Structure 1
Amino acid sequence: MNLGTLIVGPREHIVAIAQLDDTAAAELGPLLRDTARVVETLCQPEQTYVCMWSHGHDARKHLHIAVQPVTAEVRVRYGGLRSEQLQARMLADGDEPDITEVEQFCERARELFRGIADSSAEDLC
């Protein structure tokens, strides 16, 4: 996947959204919103995809939710593909972002997530 893609997943072994307990389900919406906000802030995409994957080789494996920024540059690089066709091509091509760029992105994302956590804590006071 391209630079800026973040994966959200439960710590517990869950293979489907339907298996989430009430607490996990209530936490998932705000977490996905906050993750999309971080991705949008850092990447300025045309669109941010949020999609669930759980497939293993021949059965469900573990719930993963990809939050992926899709920029004009990404679409051009992949011949204008969108949605699942874009993601399939990206995965098949095996392109990986530069590790230094990934580390820099992660540090900036951590700072934004800390800011979100700090503002949430202030709201509780």
Structure 2
Amino acid sequence: MIRPEQVYVCLWSHMDREPGHIHFVVQPVTKADMARFEAAGPELQLAMFRAGESPREAEIDAVCARLRPLLADQIQ
């Protein structure tokens, strides 16, 4: 289980610099991430994206399973 010290949340809308779709990014951040990339805030998020590391599929599935019931009532 991820135990972040912080969670960065961003909403991006772009496609050829025109609104067309959205990216909703939820990115857990630990002190180890900050130390590893020697950055914080937007600089850390950019460094993490550039590293191209993705969570394992099982981790993504676990987060989705926890969020799905919480968001289900909000979607209708």
Q: Same fold (TM over 0.5)?
A: yes
Summarize the alignment of residues 74-113 of structure 1 with structure 2, pairs less than 5 Å apart.
74-79=33-38, 81-91=39-49, 93-97=50-54, 102-113=56-67
2:28 to 51, 65, 69: 69
Q: Which has the larger radius of gyration?
A: 1
User: Relative to structure 1, is the Cα distance of residues 112 and 89 closer, same or farther in structure 2, using a 3 angstrom cutoff?
Assistant: same
Distance (whole Å) between structure 2 residues aligned to residue 60 and residue 54 of structure 1: 5
> Higher relative contact order by CA 8 Å / sep ≥ 6: 1 or 2?
1
Identify unmatched segments of 5+ residues in structure 2.
none
C-alpha displacement of 1:88: 1.8
Q: Which has the higher helix share?
A: 1
Task: State, as a whole percentage, how many aligned pairs show the same letter.
Answer: 32
Structure 1 gaps of 5+ residues are 1-41
CA deviation profile, 1:36-90 (whole Å, cap 9, x unmatched): xxxxxx31111111111112233223122211101111111111x1111112222
C-alpha deviations, 1:74-115, integer Å up to 9, x for none? 111111x11111122223x34223xxx51220232244235x
TM-score w.r.t. the length of structure 1 is 0.47
Give the structure-2-normalised TM-score.
Answer: 0.69
| Residue in 2 that maps onto 1:19 | none
Q: How many residues align?
A: 72
